[in-house]
Amino acid sequence: MTDYMQALRTVFERADFERGARPPYAKRTWRLERVADLLAALGDPHKRYASVHIAGTKGKGSTTAIVESILRAAGCRTGMYTSPHLHTFRERIRVDGQPIPEHEVVALVERLRPLLSERPEVTVFELITAMAMRSFCEHQIDWGVFEVGLGGRLDATNILQPTVTAITSISHDHMGVLGNSLAEIAAEKAGIIKPGIPIVSAPQRPEAARVIEQICAEKGARLVQIGRDWTWEALEITDRGQTFSAWQGGQPVIEHAYLPLWGEHQLENAALALAIVSILREQGLEISGRGIRKGLAHVSWPGRLELLGSEPAVVVDGAHNPYSIERVLGALAQALPERRLRVIFGASRSHLPDRMLVALRAATERIVLTRAAHPKSTPLEELSATAQALGFEWSTHATVAEALQAGIAESDGQDTLLVIGSLFVVAEARQAWAALQGLTAVPTDPPGAY
């Protein structure tokens, strides 16, 4: 009998472009036909419920979480598919906001095993996508909200025929895979646009906006643009979140709504989610203003500008490029002003840690360097060399738990201690924090499962 550990190994033993080297985004490797064939053998589960499909570079996970929270608050039975996970594989497939249990992962793998033996080319992400779509069908959800894994055009999730699609902010992302220019990357992201299906776009740089507009025109897809058709205003920021108002076409839609997420970029994501929900309401879905407020107020997206504790304020964020780090620093300056910033930093080699450290140097002189227990983590000696060259005062700690303890010891009650640079680092920091505070242990997967 397969157990949970064996099920995970069955999943991750396949070709893995998420954690390993990613080949160029070409049909020889990324094939929707392969996903379609697998899903057909499962009875096309993705056709049994309505769906929302969200691509982009930054904010697609947050937007997915906000849309799902609003739909659930409105009384819909929901499925949410996101990647990667923080602590446990089960986070990727959620039903009504809860990760699926271990026994369901085992059952899904067992159901797929004979199909996989006949399809050796199916990749890890394609398999997980099929598992999510099958799970949502078995749970008889009303709405599935799907985050694109990589790109859009050839992503396994693009098998969907959604009710509405969305593209969050696009920036230079996976350039060796998606293309070397913003226009090329935008074209891959915009591959989720379907003929006649409304599309909502976040504010984009001109070269990306032109690509999206052109593809919408070619496919006859109505384009709703945040910043043009929808606008928002930040109101009050506290240490627990922020309030805002939003308008559609100059008319107020929601006023003084509470969002427990920091940063102006999260208000952009919230406006994007509200525009998606507005289109669903136009199409007949009943969602009250009260339901929308409740969904906004209860959204949860751990590991992204998440406040773990105070005195000092301990904040974790998985930002792993200079642009995202600058956004995090700006949000902290607004939410926790007049506090000295101390930083715990670790990063994967593929995420340009040198450039991230440059972005952090503008905000602090002192940094604690560490590395996650992951083979792609940047060695401490490399981080130390960069920190020295940039003029940091720094210390190194072999584990994230040790770095967190050191950072807390070095901080006073009025400091902000920021853990940043990698979702792997953030996950270990959240686990270490729970242990330090005597909290319930964070659910994790068995070591060596993938």
Q: pLDDT tens for residues 290-302?
A: 999 999 999 999 9
Domains of the chain with CATH codes: 4-297 (3.40.1190.10), 306-437 (3.90.190.20)
Alpha-carbon dihedral sign for residues 138, 144, 147, 149: positive
The whole-number pLDDT of residue 405 equals: 97
Which among 172, 442, 409 has a CA at the least distance from the CA of 306?
A: 442
Question: How many C-beta atoms lie closer than 10 Å to residue 298's C-beta?
Answer: 14
Q: What stretches in the chain show pLDDT beneath 50?
A: 20, 27-28, 174-175
User: Six-digit token pair at 259?
Assistant: 């969002």
The whole-number pLDDT of residue 180 equals: 72
Beta carbons within 8 Å of 53's beta carbon, 6+ residues apart: 146, 148, 157, 158, 160, 162, 164, 165, 166, 192
User: Six-digit token pair at 428?
Assistant: 């270990």
The Cα–Cα gap between 309 and 110 comes to 41
